[in-house]
Amino acid sequence: MLKPGKDPTQPENYRPISLLSTLSKLTENFILDKLNEHLAENKILCPEQFGFRKSLTTSHQLLRVVEYITRGFKKGECTGEVFHDVQKAFDRVWIQGLIHKLIRYKSPPHLLQLLKSYLEERKFAVKIGNSTSEAKIMRAGIPQGGKISTVLYSLYVNDIP
């Protein structure tokens, strides 16, 4: 689907769309509940990770940064900050790497199997006009637009300092 106001001749100006059935949305909600339960019980996600977290917003993170800077100024310290913004972040997630992290974080076997089924062997096709390409297996990227994708991305980047 072409992004609004973008040049239709440039491939990067298109975004994929995922067509999800009602059953897959219900299943995703079930898996998300179990995944969040596992992450919370085992305190897996880094407490400094505010993106895509319930009851935490960018405003909370900004307040936290201001507090660190203010504390540093009071002590006569200099403060430096580095912000990292990953372009096309969800598209760049290495699926096997994410699965490895799910194993390393000791995800329950039934949950791991459901997530592997959700992530592996996904296919895509390109449609231009009335022509549709042959379906190909996706090697990277997590589905966008689903509720679980944000949690999976947070988990994927969780161990990056």
What is the pLDDT tens value at each position of the chain, 161 positions in all? Answer: 778 898 888 878 877 666 667 777 788 888 999 999 999 999 998 877 766 777 777 788 888 889 989 999 999 998 888 877 778 888 889 999 999 999 999 999 999 999 998 899 888 888 888 999 999 998 899 987 778 998 999 999 998 86
Instruction: Quote the pLDDT of residue 35.
Output: 94
Q: Tokens representing 104?
A: 């390393």
Question: Is residue 57 assigned to a domain?
Answer: no
Query: Apex CA 27: angle with CA 26 and CA 30, to 5°?
Result: 90
Range(s) of the domain holding residue 136: 11-45+88-155
Question: Is residue 67 assigned to a domain?
Answer: no
Question: Is residue 95 assigned to a domain?
Answer: yes
The total of structural domains in the chain comes to 1
Q: How far apart are CA 49 and CA 158, in angstroms?
A: 8
Query: Apex CA 92: angle with CA 54 and CA 112, to 5°?
Result: 60
Question: Is residue 18 assigned to a domain?
Answer: yes
Question: Is residue 1 assigned to a domain?
Answer: no
65, 81 contact by CB (below 8 A): yes
Q: Tokens representing 159?
A: 């161990």
Instruction: Quote the pLDDT of residue 105.
Output: 95
Instruction: Quote the pLDDT of residue 70.
Output: 93
Q: How far apart are CA 39 and CA 54, in angstroms?
A: 12
Question: Is residue 92 assigned to a domain?
Answer: yes
Instruction: Quote the pLDDT of residue 85.
Output: 77
Question: Is residue 71 assigned to a domain?
Answer: no
Question: Is residue 64 assigned to a domain?
Answer: no
